[in-house]
Amino acid sequence: TSASTYDYIVVGGGTSGLVVANRLSELENINVLVIEAGGSVYDNVNVTDTGGYGNAFGTDIDWAYKTEDQEYGGGAPQTLRAGKALGGTSVINGMVYTRAQKSQIDAWETVGNKGWNWETLFPYYKKGEGFQVPSHYSWLEGSGVAYEPADHGYKGPLKVGWSSDQLNDGLAQKLNTTYQNMEIPIPYNKDANGGQMVGYTLYPKTVDSKLNIREDAARAYYYPYKSRSNLHVWLNANVNKLTWKTGNDVTADGVEVTLANGTTSTVKASREIILAAGSLKSPLLLELSGVGNPDVLSKYGIETKVNLPTVGENLQDQMNNGLAFDSKTKYTKAPDYVAYPSVSQVFLNATAVGKQLLANLPKYAAQVASANGNVTKSKDIERFFKIQWDLIFKAHIPVAEILLEPSGYTYDTEYWATVPFARGNVHISSADPTAAASIDPKYFMLDFDLQAQTQAARFIRELFQTEPFASMTGSETSPGLSSVAADADDEGWSSFIKNNYRSNFHPISTAAMMPKEVGGVVDTSLKVYGVSNVRVVDASVMPFQVCGHLQSTIYAIAERAADIIKAEN
Ligand code: FDA
């Protein structure tokens, strides 16, 4: 069944888009159309296999966006992965389900988003979640996984729990003892999803524990509901831009879409257009529609409909590096274990580091502003940076994520500093919607970002020299002591880090929810400033990076967005 006009058009059937479409289509008198550029991956083994992380990379369900050459980060361009399928990036991600530190979400309110804080978002994390209690799965016995019942939701569509990839050979417990034995002990955290993340923990994932397959946005929010006659999905269809009503206020009346067969047409929405194309696409759709920085738009002959120069700015991502070590025992499964240390657990001289960083914030803010032609203002960025500084040095959020992954005779690690200060941007580079964008995260633009990334590597070396882990490990195989000496200074680490990092695939904030006067693109109801009926509900709206992986927070934002939209209509 298909209607000629829809009440709502959701652009992008990904992680956030399917949540909003599902919740709006709970209202029987409302017609919702989801337009998704990719196809269905319901039976794609690169998606469903819980141990298949990475198998989908480079295939036709990966957008594999390319960045500009990274001037401060090794010179080469980076690849930014993103899912091109019903389910979006949730079909190719690492499935990790971790939220944020409470104070980080509270900072969204501090920056000027009244009503957006941990207390108001926490119920939405739980609303979406269908937590699977580990004691129901016998293979998890002895694995060390644990949870705090009050921190989870049990009736939501999104299955969260553990897969059979979890080990129950005592490794989790030995790792726990090792963390506690470090010079500055890392405490055990039973459940990192209650707003307190610091410590060593065994996090859950988006998996169907019973079937042992990936849980993604489509499996959770679409397939079980696809018989709803008011929920429509077009696959393999690319939205090119919004179309506008004639009149005095700026109101969208539909979108221009190119279908799988190559034909381009317009489809109408009577109420709203909801952008959920991801943080590297939604801002571009605004620009292609005339909402953005007139200097960018005029370069490509696009008439400015709404002068909103910060569209595409504030891009924040993290950088991912890894160290590897020989293991004395062989592992047949490849689970991962995480630790979230705070700044005083990673830097022995945290107070001095904090003082120096604080003194550098005005300079950093000026550097960011000048890099984007003062589109975002130095004084505003300085304020954001001070909020970020307070989170690190006063609220003691995790300053790094340390992942340990045994496999075969190897311990791989992956790590990243959680809250880099660099701000980049994404903009169109043509009026052609199929053309590649200009994406520039500006990795390592600011010294502290490298310093934090370096210190986290030293932390991992210390971990592997601490008992009982030290006795279980052979030598460091990457980078290895001949490449980066045991006593290497920051400079000694720098070339390894800058030549071997990748994106951590957590780009956010390109249509930031903030007051307009400090550079926001959407207001607290996620509506684009200056436009009466267009919202953004994806990773683009997050004003600051979170310490947990992104998806749980994106699902929660989208759950709340649906309630906001319902309440207004
Ligand atoms: P998302 O990308 O999900 O949705 C956007 C949708 O819009 C896509 O389906 C896309 O095809 C579609 N689209 C784009 N342009 C369009 C157009 N013009 N017309 C129509 N459709 C269009 N997070 C986490 O919590 N745990 C993890 O383990 C990981 N691991 C991880 C690994 C990798 C490799 C990546 C790339 C990312 C992660 N993440 C993660 C991050 C997380 O998965 C990601 O941030 C969210 O899924 C993004 O959700 P969005 O709704 O913002 O966009």
Both structure tokens of 373: 């032609």
Cβ proximity of 15 and 554 under 8 Å: yes
- By C-alpha distance, which of 184, 504, 188, 505 is closest to 339? 188
How far apart (Å, rounded) are the C-alpha atoms in residues 430 and 299? 8
**E-strand spans in 471-569?**
473-478, 502-503, 534-536
Measured from the CB, is residue 62 less than 6 Å from ligand 1? no
Instruction: Give residue 314's region: left, alpha or beta (phi > 0; psi -120 to 50).
Output: left
Task: Indicate whether residue 21 lines ligand 1 (CB < 6 A).
Answer: no
Q: Give the CATH superfamily of 1-63+81-162+205-316+507-569.
A: FAD/NAD(P)-binding domain (3.50.50.60)
pLDDT at residue 2, rounded to an integer: 46
Q: Maximum Cα–Cα distance for the chain, whole Å? A: 73
Sign of the four-CA dihedral 342, 147, 171, 56:
negative
Which atom number of ligand 1 is nearest to the Cα of residue 35?
20
Going by CA atoms, what residue is nearest to atom 18 of ligand 1?
239
Q: What distance in angstroms lies between residue 553's CA and the mean position of ligand 1's atoms? A: 13
Ligand 1 within 6 A of 276 CB?
yes
Question: E strands of 64-131, at which residues?
Answer: 65-66, 79-80, 129-131
Active-site residue 152, yes or no?
A: no
Helix axes 350-371, 378-393, angle to 10 degrees: 160
Are 158 and 206 contacting, i.e. CB atoms less than 8 angstroms apart?
yes
Atom number, ligand 1, closest to the C-alpha of residue 12: 7
539 within ligand 1 shell (Cβ under 6 A): yes
Question: Ligand 1: does its nearest atom lie under 6 Å from the Cβ of 81?
Answer: yes
- Which residue's CA lies nearest to atom 33 of ligand 1? 93
CA of 114 to the centre of ligand 1 (A): 27
Q: What are phi and psi of 532, to 5 degrees?
A: -80, -25
Q: Is residue 157 lining ligand 1, measured as CB closer than 6 Å?
A: no
Closest CA relative to residue 460, chosen from 494, 414, 528: 414
Within 8 A by CB and 6+ apart from 437, the residues are 65, 280, 284, 426, 427, 428, 429
- Give all strands (DSSP E) within 282-343, no chain letters: 291-292, 306-307, 319-320, 324-331, 337-340
Partners of 85 in beta bridges = 39
Q: Using an 8 Å Cβ cutoff, are 457 and 485 in contact?
A: no
The DSSP H or E segment spanning 198 is none
Q: Which atom of ligand 1 is nearest to the CA of 507?
A: 45
Report yes or no: 446 and 367 within 8 Å, Cβ to Cβ.
yes
Spatial separation of the C-alpha atoms in residues 385 and 518, rounded to whole Å? 13
* Average pLDDT along the chain, 569 residues, taken 10 residues at a time: 78 99 97 98 97 97 98 98 98 98 98 98 98 95 96 98 93 97 97 98 97 97 98 98 94 97 96 98 98 98 98 98 97 92 96 98 98 97 98 98 96 98 98 97 98 98 98 97 96 96 98 98 98 98 97 98 95
Q: Which two tokens stand for residue 417?
A: 């500093």
316 CB within 6 A, ligand 1:
no
Cα of 121 vs centre of ligand 1, distance in Å, is 20
Structure tokens at 81: 């992965």
Task: Give CA–CA dist 166/145, Å, rounded.
Answer: 9
| Separation between Cα atoms, residue 135 and residue 239, nearest integer Å | 45
DSSP 3-state percent helix, strand, coil across the chain (nearest 5): 30, 25, 45
The answer to whether the CB of 446 is under 6 A from ligand 1 is: no
CA atoms in the 13 A half-sphere facing the CB of 412 = 12
Closest CA to 458 of 336, 345, 338, 328: 345
DSSP string of 360-377, one letter each residue: HHHHHHHHHHHHTTTSS-
Our mutation pick for probing the ligand 1 site, out of 10, 11, 15, counting the most ligand atoms within 8 A of Cβ, is 15
Looking at residue 333, its pLDDT comes to 87
pLDDT on residue 5:
85
Cα–Cα distance between 386 and 365 in angstroms, integer? 10
Please state the atom number of ligand 1 nearest to the C-alpha of residue 14.
4
Q: Which atom of ligand 1 has the smallest separation from the CA of 95? A: 28
Q: Is 96 in the pocket of ligand 1 (CB under 6 A)?
A: yes
Whether 20 contacts 96, CB under 8 Å: no
Amino acid letter, 161: G
Q: How far is the CA of 528 from the centre of ligand 1 (A)?
A: 21
Query: Which residue of the set 152, 232, 427, 506 is catalytic?
Result: 506
Pocket of ligand 1 contains residue 401 by CB under 6 Å: no
> DSSP letters along 391-409, please?
HHHTS--B-EEEEEEEEEE
DSSP 239: E
Domain ranges of the chain: 1-63+81-162+205-316+507-569
Distance 9 CA to ligand 1 centre (A): 18
Identify the residue whose tokens are 């990243």: 416
Q: Which of 504, 510, 492 is nearest to 454 (CA)?
A: 492
| Residue 549 annotated as catalytic | yes
Q: Which numbered atom of ligand 1 lies nearest the CA of 98? A: 25
- Residue 497: CB atoms within 10 A of its CB come to 21
